[in-house]
Amino acid sequence: MSRCLKHPNNELSSGWIYVHPETRKIIRGRTFPELVEAAKEYAREHNFPIGSEFSRQLEEAVCDDAPSLCKECQVEGEPIKVTAGMVLRGTKTMIAFLVAGRPVVDQPEATRRAGLCYRCPKRSRFRTSCGGLCNEMKRIVDRIVGTRVTGVELGLSACGICHCFLSASVWLPLDVQCQGVNDAQRSGFAKVRETYPCWKEC
């Protein structure tokens, strides 16, 4: 079991605090997503690396300093291999979204979804050796999301049930993305909702 935050989107009276391990600089945020963004901005300003596990490492650091804010959570599932079929499905979803002229969901809803996905026991990750397919999926995500952020993008990766890119799906209207969900995946979501508040009710 690993540790994760109980309520990362809650505002704390004293604020969320992270002490940079090298400079001992105290970084603050009203919520954990805001803390992540502040820490990333500090890292960029001082040329510190921002790796793919940045949000997760920050979460572990917060849990070290304030254990009461955290709980044990399940480890991510097996890495998911990006396939041409997944790219095709993502492209179809993007086209449906753009053709419909639909706006993305508002910031509070996207942040709520991202927080649930980040803590979900079915959250997984994509294998890194996917070459051009990963680049194509990133293009799809960027076309949908643009510059919008929830604060936990680097830790979201993939849904272990429908294999969607969570950093994009948390912004999409539910009826649009449910067009690409099959019966087996619907059953998977229903099973998860027996013990966890999954928002993807397709």
Taking a C-beta distance cutoff of 8 angstroms, is the pair 20, 42 a contact? yes
Q: Are 107 and 151 part of one and the same domain?
A: yes
Q: Are 188 and 131 part of one and the same domain?
A: yes
Q: Are 53 and 132 part of one and the same domain?
A: no
Looking at residue 171, what is its pLDDT?
87
Taking a C-beta distance cutoff of 8 angstroms, is the pair 151, 118 a contact? no
Domain extent at residue 154: 84-192
54 lies in some domain: yes
Among the candidates 73, 99, 132, a domain finishes at 73
pTM for this one? 0.55
Q: Are 89 and 184 part of one and the same domain?
A: yes
Q: Are 112 and 16 part of one and the same domain?
A: no
201 lies in some domain: no
Q: How many CA atoms lie within 13 A of 6 on its CB side?
A: 8
Among the candidates 16, 50, 73, a domain finishes at 73
202 lies in some domain: no
Q: Are 68 and 163 part of one and the same domain?
A: no
198 lies in some domain: no
Query: Which residues, at least 6 apart from 170, have a Cβ–Cβ distance to it below 8 Å?
Result: 105, 110, 113, 114, 117, 150, 156
Backbone phi and psi for residue 195, each to the nearest 5 degrees, phi listed first: -130, -5
Looking at residue 199, what is its pLDDT?
93
Q: Are 92 and 184 part of one and the same domain?
A: yes
Q: Are 69 and 89 part of one and the same domain?
A: no
**For every one of its 202 residues, what pLDDT tens digit does the chain have, with 9 covering 90 and above?**
567 888 888 888 889 999 988 898 999 999 998 999 999 999 999 988 886 668 878 888 898 888 899 887 654 555 556 565 665 566 566 666 666 676 788 889 998 998 888 888 788 766 554 555 556 666 766 777 777 777 776 667 778 888 787 888 888 888 887 877 888 889 989 988 888 899 999 8
How many domains, in total, are found in the chain? Answer: 2
199 lies in some domain: no
Taking a C-beta distance cutoff of 8 angstroms, is the pair 140, 91 a contact? yes
Q: Are 101 and 184 part of one and the same domain?
A: yes
79 lies in some domain: no
